[in-house]
Amino acid sequence: MSEALFRFHGARLGHGDATVFAALDLSVRRGETVALLGASGSGKSTLLAALREQRQALCTWCPQEQALVPMLSVFHNIYMGGLHRHGTWHNLRTLLRPAAADRAEVGALAAELGLADKLFTSVDRLSGGQAQRTALGRALYTRRPVLLGDEPVSNLDEHQGLALMQRALTAHDTAVVAMHDRALALACFQRVLGLRHGELVLDAPAAALALADLDELYRP
C-alpha cells in the first residue's frame, strides 16, 4: 500500500469564518489519480486549496481561471512554470532574449499542445481553448510530482480534452483534478470523489462506477 500523501482527519475546511467541510476524513495515496466531482459550490475549490496547502512544494497547480499574464507570449507563460528551476539572472534574460535551449524545450511542449504557431503570440490574442492549453503547458513545465487541477481541459473539445488530460496524468505521479465531465473522470482516473454541500458522499474506484452513479451528484 502506498503512503498517504494527503490526509485529513475530522478537518474543518473553509474560508475565514465560513465552514465548507465541518469534519472531513480523507486520504490520498501517492500514485493515485483522483477525479473530484460535484456541483458548483459543493466544496471542490476549497478541498483543492487545502490539498495544495499541505504539500505546496510538491504540487503543480493548474487553476480554472488560468492566471496567465495577458501581455506576455505563450512561450513566456509556459516558461513561468519553470522559474523555480533557474536563477534570477537567467529568468530576467529569458524575459528579453530567451536562450536557444529554452526556446527549443518550451517550443517542443507548445507543439505537443498544438500551439507551435502561437509560441510568441501574446496570450490576450488567443482563443479560450488556446489559453487553456497554455495554462496546461505551464503546469507541465513546472515538473513537480503532484498535479492539482481545477477544470484544466473544460474549454477543449471531447477528443482534445481526453488526449491532453491523459498527457497531464502521465507526467505526474499523483493527481487530484476537479471537473464536471463525468465521462472524462471515468475514462482517465483511478478513483472518484463526489462532493455535495461540503460533504464527501462518494469515494469509489472509477472502474466500479457508471455515469448514472455520477449523475446523482448533480441532482437538486
pLDDT digits (tens, 9 = 90+) for 38-91: 999 899 999 999 999 999 999 999 988 878 999 999 999 999 999 999 999 999
Q: How far apart are CA 198 and CA 184, in angstroms?
A: 23
- What does the pLDDT read at residue 97? 94
| pLDDT (0 to 100) of residue 27 | 96
With contact defined as beta carbons under 8 Å apart, do 122 and 131 qualify?
no
Helix axes 100-112, 128-142, angle to 10 degrees: 120
CATH number for the domain spanning 33: value is 3.40.50.300
Range of the domain at 206: 4-218
**pLDDT at residue 1 is higher than 60:** no
If one compares 66 and 168, the residue with the highest pLDDT of the two is 168
79: nearest Cα among 117, 118, 97, 105: 105
**What predicted TM-score, i.e. pTM, was given to this entire model?**
0.92
Q: What is the pLDDT of residue 220?
A: 77
Structural domains of the chain, count: 1
